[in-house]
C-alpha cells in the first residue's frame, strides 16, 4: 500500500533551530510512570515511539534539583551527573531509529512538597502548595533566583551531555516555577521580578537566555507554555498574557510547544472534549512568531492532522495519548494503512498510571509499559512454532483481543459470542453519554479479525460445556464477562442488603441494555455509587438527560473519586450539578421502604431519609463464570475430548477496567502454549541491587 498524497504534508522535514525533524509527528513530553526508577523500561518505551515513526520523541519532565522533588511520582531527574546513564539510554534508543530526542527541564516550585528530599519548596512568594501536604513554599530571595538560574544552566549542560537534541524550558500546567513567576495569582513580589508584566516575565527570559548560551548551536531550545488556564481574567489567557508572553519572546526559542493549563485541561477526556479541542486557544501563535509550533488535541485522524498544518495552526502534530495508543501511527499513515491505526479513545487510563505512581497502561495498546520487561512489541508477535487451534468464548474486549493476537501469531481461532453484537461491555458502554469513542476498542479488533483468513467469528453462538467438549479444540479461553450485583455488596457493604428489594431495584445492566427508558417517569431515581469510577456518574447523567429526577448517593466525599486519576473528577461533578442531579456524599445504605430510602452517615451513623422510587446500585460485579464452572466440573473429560487447556480471561476471571480485560486477552495470546511459573514474576525487573554503592562517607 502507498501513502495517500493528501497526507504528504505530514512527512515534510521541518527545521528546529540547528536540528531537523524528518516529519511533522512530534511526541511531546509525557509521563510514563517509569522515569528514574525504571530506566530500562523508560528507554525501551521511548525507542518504540521512534521506531514507529515519530520524528521527535520527548521524555517526561526532568526535575533539575532536589528542591523540585515530585516523590512519589516517578519522573526523570537531572539532579547531578549520576542521572546521566539513565537518560543516555533514552537518547541512545531514540537516535537508533533516526529520531530527535527532547527533554523537558522543570523546577516545580510550589507544586511539590519535596517528600523525599525534605527541602523547603520554593516559590515567587510565600504560598501553600498545590496538594494537601502540611507544607508551605517560601518566597525566593535574590540568592535563590541566582541559584535557580544556575540549576537550570547545569541541567541544560547535563541534558546536552546526555545526547538530547532539543532542550525544553517548561512553563506549563501550573507545575513550573517559571509559570508561577508569570502568574499574578502566585507572584505578588514588589521587586524587579514581580508586579508588571515585564517584571513577571524577567526570570523566564533570563533562564531562556542562559539556556541558549550553555547549549550553544548544537541543540535546539524549546519552550512549553500554557497559553490559557481556562480560569478567566485571574489567570493566563490566550487573548491576554498568554499571547503577550509569546509576542515578547517570539524569536528567542527555536520551537513553541503550546497548550492549556492545568493537566486536566490539557489532557481532557473524550467524555468532555472532541479531537482538536485546543485549536481555538492556540490558533494565534503562528501569527506572532516565525518559529515552528507544536500543539496537541488528541489527534487520531490524519485528515485532521493535515488540516491543522494546512490552516497554519501547527507545524508539528503533537501527541502524547495517541502515541501511546499506537506508537506506529506515523508509519501506518506513511504506508497507507489508515485502517490499522489503533485510535486513542480518550479514556485517560494512561494518566492514571502517573497519578498512582506505576508504569502506565492503555486501553487500546496492551503492550505499553511492557516493551522492556516482557519484550512486547506493539506490532510484532512471534509466530507460534507449532500453532494449535484455539476457541475463544465471548466477544468482549478480552475475547476480541485474545482472538486478534492469536490470529496474528498464526493460530486458527474460532471466536463465539452468544449475543447479537461484538464488544461485550464496550458495545453497551459506548452508547452512554460522552463515551462513543470507546467503541474503537471493539471496532479496531473486529476490523483486524475480519481481515484474517485464520479467524472465524460467530455471533448468536452461546456454547455449553457439552458443545465445547464435542468440538475438542485444544485450547479454550472463556471470556464471558461479568454482571453487576443488585444486592448492595461493594466496598462499603460487604454483606448483601435484603432490604433493597422493598422497592423498585434496577441493575446497571438493565440501563446499559435498554437505556433510560428502563426507568418509568415518576419519583426520584437514586444512583448509589460505591464503584467510585465512571459508571455511576455516567448513568446518573443518562437518566438526568432523559428528564428523570436523579439523586446521586455515594459513601465517598465526592462524586467518582477514582476519576481524579483520569483527570476528570471535577468535570464529572460539575456536569451532574449542571444537570440538576442532587448529590449526597458520605452516606451508606441503611434501610428501605417502597418509596423511601434510609441513609446512614459513614462517620457518625446519623440517619436520614430521602424519596426513592427506583434504586440503581452501582457497587460491584460478579464474574459470569457459569460456563467455566460447568466445564471445570467435567475436567476429567478434557483429555479424551482433545482439550489441553481451559482458562478464564478478563472480567470472567476478575472484573476490572476495560484496559485490564484487553491486557488479559493479549497476555493469553502471547503465552497460550506456555507453562507459567507461578513462583516468579512474569517479567524482568530493574537491577536495583547493582545500583547500590554503599553509604557515602563523610569527613
Cβ-contact 583, 559 below 8 angstroms: yes
∠ Cα 657 661 666 (to 5°): 145
Q: CA-to-CA distance for 592 and 599, rounded, in angstroms?
A: 9
What SS3 state is found at 60? strand
Query: Burial of 214 by CB count in 10 Å (0-12 exposed, 13-18 middle, 19+ buried)?
Result: middle
Cβ-contact 62, 76 below 8 angstroms: yes
Other Cβ atoms less than 10 A from the Cβ of 451: the count is 10
Q: CA-to-CA distance for 370 and 571, rounded, in angstroms?
A: 31
Q: How far is CA 642 from CA 389, 390, 469, in A?
A: 11, 12, 8
31 an active-site residue? yes
Q: CA-to-CA distance for 283 and 247, rounded, in angstroms?
A: 14
585 an active-site residue? no
Cβ-contact 200, 244 below 8 angstroms: no
Could you say which of 228, 254, 266, 354 is catalytic? 266
Handedness of CA 12, 15, 19, 24 (dihedral sign): negative
Residue in the block written with cell 512489541: 377
| Torsion angles phi and psi, residue 211, rounded to 5 | -65, -45
Could you say which of 26, 36, 152, 170 is catalytic? 170
Q: CA-to-CA distance for 225 and 247, rounded, in angstroms?
A: 12
Could you say which of 173, 180, 186, 475 is catalytic? 173
Q: Which of 298, 354, 357, 303 lies closest to 326 in space, CA to CA?
A: 298
Could you say which of 26, 31, 174, 430 is catalytic? 31
Q: What grid cell was written down for 32? A: 510514563
Q: CA-to-CA distance for 341 and 300, rounded, in angstroms?
A: 8
Q: CA-to-CA distance for 399 and 422, rounded, in angstroms?
A: 10
List CB contacts of 280: < 8 A, sequence separation 6 or more.
238
Q: CA-to-CA distance for 309 and 293, rounded, in angstroms?
A: 10
- Beta partners for residue 101, in sequence order: 57
Q: CA-to-CA distance for 62 and 65, rounded, in angstroms?
A: 9
* Alpha helix positions (H), 21-176: 39-51, 84-96, 142-161
Cβ-contact 62, 75 below 8 angstroms: yes
What distance lies between CA 206 and its chain's CA centroid?
Answer: 34
Q: What grid cell was written down for 156? A: 541544560
173 an active-site residue? yes
Q: Could you please report the per-residue DSSP string of 293-310?
A: EEE-S----HHHHHHHHH
Question: Does a cis peptide bond (omega within 30 degrees of 0) precede residue 72?
Answer: yes
Q: Could you please report the per-residue DSSP string of 309-357?
A: HHTTS-SEEEESHHHHH-TTHHHHHHTT-GGG--------HHHHHHHTT
Cβ-contact 18, 253 below 8 angstroms: no
Q: What single DSSP character describes residue 171? A: E
- Beta partners for residue 645, in sequence order: 475
Active site positions, annotated: 31, 170, 173, 266
Amino acid at each position: 500500500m502507498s501513502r495517500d498524497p493528501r497526507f504528504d504534508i505530514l512527512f515534510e522535514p521541518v527545521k528546529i533551530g540547528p536540528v531537523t525533524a524528518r516529519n511533522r509527528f512530534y511526541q511531546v513530553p509525557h509521563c510514563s510512570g517509569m522515569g528514574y526508577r525504571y530506566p530500562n523500561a523508560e528507554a525501551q518505551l521511548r525507542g518504540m515511539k521512534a521506531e514507529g515513526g515519530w520524528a521527535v520523541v520527548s521524555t517526561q519532565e526532568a526535575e533539575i534539583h532536589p528542591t523540585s522533588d515530585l516523590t512519589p511520582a516517578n519522573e526523570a531527574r537531572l539532579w547531578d551527573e549520576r542521572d546521566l546513564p539513565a537518560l543516555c539510554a533514552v537518547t541512545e534508543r531514540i537516535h537508533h531509529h533516526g529520531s530527535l530526542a527532547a527533554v523537558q527541564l522543570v523546577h516545580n516550585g510550589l507544586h511539590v512538597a519535596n517528600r523525599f528530599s525534605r527541602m523547603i519548596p520554593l516559590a515567587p512568594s510565600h504560598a501553600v502548595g498545590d496538594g494537601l501536604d502540611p507544607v508551605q513554599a517560601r518566597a525566593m530571595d535574590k540568592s535563590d533566583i541566582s541559584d535557580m538560574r544556575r540549576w537550570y544552566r547545569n541541567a541544560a549542560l547535563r541534558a546536552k551531555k546526555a545526547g538530547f537534541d532539543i532542550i525544553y524550558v517548561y512553563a506549563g500546567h501550573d507545575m513550573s516555577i517559571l509559570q508561577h513567576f508569570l502568574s499574578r495569582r502566585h507572584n505578588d513580589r514588589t521587586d524587579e521580578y514581580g508586579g508588571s508584566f515585564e517584571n513577571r516575565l524577567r526570570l523566564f527570559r533570563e533562564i531562556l537566555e542562559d539556556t541558549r548560551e550553555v547549549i550553544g548551536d548544537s541543540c535546539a531550545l524549546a519552550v512549553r507554555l500554557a497559553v490559557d488556564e481556562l480560569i478567566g481574567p485571574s489567570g493566563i489567557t490566550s487573548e491576554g498574557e498568554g499571547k503577550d508572553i509569546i509576542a515578547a519572546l517570539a524569536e528567542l526559542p527555536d520551537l513553541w510547544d503550546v497548550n492549556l493549563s492545568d493537566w486536566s485541561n490539557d489532557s481532557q477526556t473524550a467524555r468532555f472534549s472532541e479531537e482538536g479541542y485546543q485549536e481555538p486557544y492556540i490558533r494565534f501563535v503562528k501569527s506572532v512568531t516565525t518559529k515552528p509550533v507544536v500543539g496537541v488535541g488528541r489527534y487520531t485522524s490524519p485528515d485532521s492532522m493535515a488540516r491543522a498544518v494546512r490552516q497554519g495552526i501547527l507545524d508539528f502534530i503533537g501527541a502524547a495519548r495517541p502515541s501511546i495508543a499506537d506508537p506506529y501511527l506515523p508509519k501506518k499513515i506513511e504506508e497507507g494503512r489508515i485502517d490499522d491505526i489503533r485510535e486513542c479513545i480518550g479514556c485517560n487510563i494512561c494518566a492514571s498510571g502517573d497519578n498512582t505512581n506505576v508504569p502506565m497502561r492503555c486501553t487500546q495498546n496492551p503492550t505499553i509499559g511492557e516493551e522492556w520487561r516482557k519484550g512486547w512489541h506493539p506490532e510484532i508477535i512471534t509466530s507460534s512454532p507449532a500453532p494449535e487451534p484455539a476457541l475463544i468464548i465471548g466477544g468482549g474486549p478480552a475475547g476480541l483481543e485474545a482472538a486478534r493476537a492469536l490470529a496474528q501469531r498464526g493460530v486458527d481461532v474460532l471466536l463465539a459470542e452468544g449475543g447479537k453484537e461484538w464488544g461485550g461491555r464496550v458495545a453497551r458502554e459506548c452508547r452512554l453519554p460522552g463515551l462513543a469513542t470507546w467503541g474503537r476498542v471493539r471496532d479496531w479488533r473486529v476490523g483486524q479479525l475480519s481481515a484474517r483468513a485464520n479467524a472465524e467469528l460467530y455471533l448468536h453462538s452461546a456454547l455449553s460445556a457439552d458443545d465445547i467438549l464435542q468440538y475438542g479444540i485444544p485450547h479454550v479461553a472463556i471470556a464471558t464477562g461479568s454482571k453487576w450485583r443488585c444486592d448492595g455488596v461493594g466496598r462499603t457493604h460487604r454483606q448483601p442488603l435484603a432490604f433493597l428489594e422493598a422497592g423498585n431495584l434496577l441493575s446497571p445492566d438493565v440501563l446499559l441494555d435498554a437505556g433510560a427508558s428502563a426507568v418509568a417517569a415518576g419519583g426520584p431515581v437514586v444512583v448509589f455509587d460505591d464503584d467510585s469510577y465512571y459508571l455511576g456518574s455516567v448513568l446518573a447523567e443518562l437518566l438526568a438527560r432523559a428528564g428523570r429526577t436523579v439523586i446521586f448517593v455515594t459513601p465517598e466525599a465526592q462524586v467518582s473519586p477514582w476519576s481524579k486519576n483520569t483527570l476528570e473528577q471535577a468535570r464529572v461533578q460539575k456536569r451532574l450539578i449542571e444537570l440538576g442531579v442532587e448529590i449526597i456524599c458520605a452516606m451508606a445504605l441503611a434501610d428501605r421502604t417502597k418509596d423511601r430510602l434510609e441513609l446512614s452517615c459513614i462517620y457518625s451513623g446519623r440517619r436520614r431519609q430521602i424519596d426513592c422510587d427506583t434504586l440503581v446500585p452501582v457497587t460491584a460485579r460478579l464474574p459470569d463464570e457459569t460456563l467455566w464452572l460447568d466445564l471445570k466440573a467435567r475436567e476429567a473429560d478434557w483429555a479424551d475430548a482433545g482439550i489441553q487447556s481451559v482458562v478464564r480471561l478478563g472480567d470472567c476471571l476478575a472484573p476490572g477496567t476495560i484496559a485490564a480485560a484487553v491486557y488479559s486477552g493479549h497476555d493469553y495470546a502471547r503465552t497460550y502454549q506456555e507453562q507459567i511459573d507461578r513462583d516468579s514474576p512474569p517479567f524482568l525487573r530493574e537491577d536495583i541491587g547493582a545500583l547500590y554503592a554503599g553509604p557515602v562517607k563523610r569527613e
